[in-house]
Chain A
Amino acid sequence: MLSWKDIPMGAIVQTPGSAKEYRTGDWRSQRPVWDLSKCIKCGLCYIYCPDASIGWKDDGYPQWDEFHCKGCGICATECWTKAINLVEETE
């Protein structure tokens, strides 16, 4: 952890895109779990995710980003085939 003496002037961040190193997944109390047998690869969950935490696997199914997903549940609400369920985080 940085000491106050190591803070760059104005707390400027000199490495662009460093926010991706911030584990916002720690904020999550629920996680989305996919039942791919119901998924039709429509991409709505990808579009609606406010944290860009859904990408694509090579086979065309959604790829969940555990490190950044905040567990808001929007993907589960928007998925019209109900392929996504929210489950309580246990840890």
Chain B
Amino acid sequence: MAKKVGTEVSFAVADAVKLADVDVIAAYPITPQTHIVEKLSEYVADGELDAEYICVESEHSAMSACCGSSATGARTFTATAGQGLELMHEVLTIPASSRLPMVAAICNRALSGPLSVWGDHSDLMGVRDTGWIQIIAENGQDVHDLTIAAFKISEHKDVMFPVMVHMDGFHLTHVIEPIVIMDQEDVDKFLPPFEYNNKLDPASPVSQGTYAPPHIYPEIKKAQDVALVNSKETIKAIWKEYGDLFGRYYNPIETYKTDDAETILVTMGSFSETASLAIDKLREQGKKVGLLRVRLWRPFPFAELRDAAKSAKTMIVLDRALSFGGPAGPLCSEIRSAFYQEKNRPQIISFISGLGGRDIDPEDFEAMIARGEDIAKNGSDSEYEILGVRE
């Protein structure tokens, strides 16, 4: 029987990776991801996990090693954060275009400068267009379940894309939560062995990651994009299967009290749980407010989002990242795009807050909702507002 234990969320990631019985881990330690790879290196050193642990000299090398590993048909994992993800960036587009399955735990961290080891979504937004499937966890249980499911999604024959599981640095990675750690037997039932048809094999040679001149490059990119968009149905099916087997369901868009909500707050990541407290309080006051959380960031679930926000007159979107001089926070830009063609589109208000590890407490969310409703009625001078900073 799977049992609930009090454990650090980083260890719940490591345990998920161990349960998935990975073959190769290539990673470079960086705060706030370090505890994940430390734990995994212990598992390998102690013989509890039969895997290659490749100590690389940088994140760029980590991702390069992961590409090679996956190409041989080995189940592959890495983890990083912030500047480490930035250093990895150049190589990130390769497994997405070469369709090399792997799972990466990204412990979201603010980008320099100024130097910050604390959490926000700047690193997450920086890798938005690398072609990876990107999943957002909100708590320790999410992290554990979604990491296990991520291997099945990544390696599914109709998907074959690398998957990032995003989790907020410190606010998630370093907290201790009660988490149901899965049983090996259950995971083995759920997660089949990785079968890679095009693996590098001297007996039947193939070339991967080749050069493409202009007469073929656009066709390759369209094929990649269509495949990523189509992966959404398989992701949903695998999450449903996980829910049917183990009782915990995950959806591309998660909703909280949205059924009749006229004002909907939109969040992503661990702050969603804090936001739900503000929703409860406003509901008690009779306000028709709800909360909608984006779980699947890529491929973006447009239809599910529109469906979940049918009743909304105002949507208030929190971004924990800035698009400097841009139209809104990056999440809000997506939400606005999703509704632009709709006949009765809601007003969509953009707020930036929680940068570089700054907390947002339930009262801040209440104030955010109040300010959002005010802007919806009376307008604002700016495209987006940064909340929670000293004037």
Whether B206 contacts A4 by the Cβ 8 Å rule is no
> Is B208 touching A12 in the complex (CB atoms < 8 A)?
yes
Q: Is the CB of B208 within 8 A of A4?
A: no
Known A-B contacts A7-B219, A7-B223; A12 and B206 likewise in contact (beta carbons under 8 Å)? yes
Q: Is B58 at the interface (CB under 8 A from chain A)?
A: no
Which residues from chain A contact B100 at a C-beta distance below 8 Å? Answer: 10
Q: A10-B100, A10-B198, A11-B97 are in contact. Are A4 and B207 (CB under 8 A)?
A: no
What B residues does A8 contact at CB under 8 A?
198
Given A10-B100, A12-B198, verify A2-B207 contact (CB < 8 Å).
Answer: no
Query: B206 touching A14 by the CB < 8 A rule?
Result: yes
- Size of interface on B: residues with Cβ below 8 Å to A: 21
Question: Interface segment, B104-112, B210-218, B333-341, B379-387?
Answer: B210-218
Q: A1-B215, A2-B216 are in contact. Are A12 and B207 (CB under 8 A)?
A: yes
Q: Check if A4 sits within 8 Å of B99, measured CB to CB.
A: no
Contact of A16 among B99, B207, B222 (CB under 8 A): B207
Please, how many angstroms separate the alpha-carbon atoms of A4 and B219 in the complex? Answer: 4
Q: Given the complex, which residues of A lie within 8 Å of B98, measured CB to CB?
A: 10-12
A16-B205, A16-B206, A16-B207 are contacts. A10–B219 as well, Cβ < 8 Å? no
Query: Hey, which chain B residues are within 8 Å of A9, CB to CB?
Result: 99, 160, 198, 227
How close is A27's CB to chain B, nearest CB, in angstroms? Answer: 11
A14 to B160, CA, bound (A): 17
Please indicate which of the listed interface residues A4, A5, A18 has the most CB atoms of chain B within 10 Å of its own CB.
A4
Structural contact, B207 and A10, CB atoms closer than 8 A: no
Which B residues, 171 to 209, have Cβ-Cβ distances below 8 Å to chain A?
A: 198, 205-208
A11 smallest CB distance to B (angstroms): 5
- Closest Cβ–Cβ distance, residue A42 to chain B (whole Å): 33
Centre residue among A5, A10, A12 by max chain B CB count within 10 A: A10
A10 near B97 with CB under 8 A, answer yes
Q: Does B226 contact A (CB under 8 A)?
A: yes
Q: Hey, what's the 0/1 contact readout for A9-34 against B, CB within 8 Å counting as 1? A: 11111101011000000000000000
- 7 A-B residue pairs with Cβ-Cβ distance under 8 Å, sorted by A, are A1-B215, A1-B216, A9-B99, A10-B100, A10-B160, A10-B208, A18-B207
